[in-house]
Amino acid sequence: MKRVKTRRIRITKGEKMLYFLGSLSLVLTLVVQIFCGANIGSLNLQVEEIKYDINNQEKKVESLTMKVNELTSFDKVKDIVGDMGLAYNNDNIVVIDK
């Protein structure tokens, strides 16, 4: 009866180094993807907060513009002038266009 020789597969130091570097690069790639994804999420949150602040400021500006237009209307000025005892004189009014 013949003995069957089994061959052992030997892994060289170079192959071990390649396997180690390959697995290390895989792990580092996953860590970098998670880190970058978290940063992108944080930046998106900041962008949404800034957009919200901009909308609030635009609403305030629009409200103040409406108040200015209301207070500078001709009827309002005429009422205030009348309350102060002054007379309306159309000759003294100068219109300035931009």
CA distance 68 to 76: 11
Instruction: Walk along the chain (98 residues) and give the pLDDT tens digit of each residue.
Output: 677 778 888 889 999 999 999 999 999 999 999 999 999 999 999 999 999 999 999 999 999 999 988 888 878 878 887 888 877 777 777 777 76
Cα gap 42→93, rounded to integer Å: 57
pLDDT for the residue 18:
96
81 and 88 Cβ atoms separated by less than 8 Å: yes
Between CA 73 and CA 84 the distance in angstroms is 17
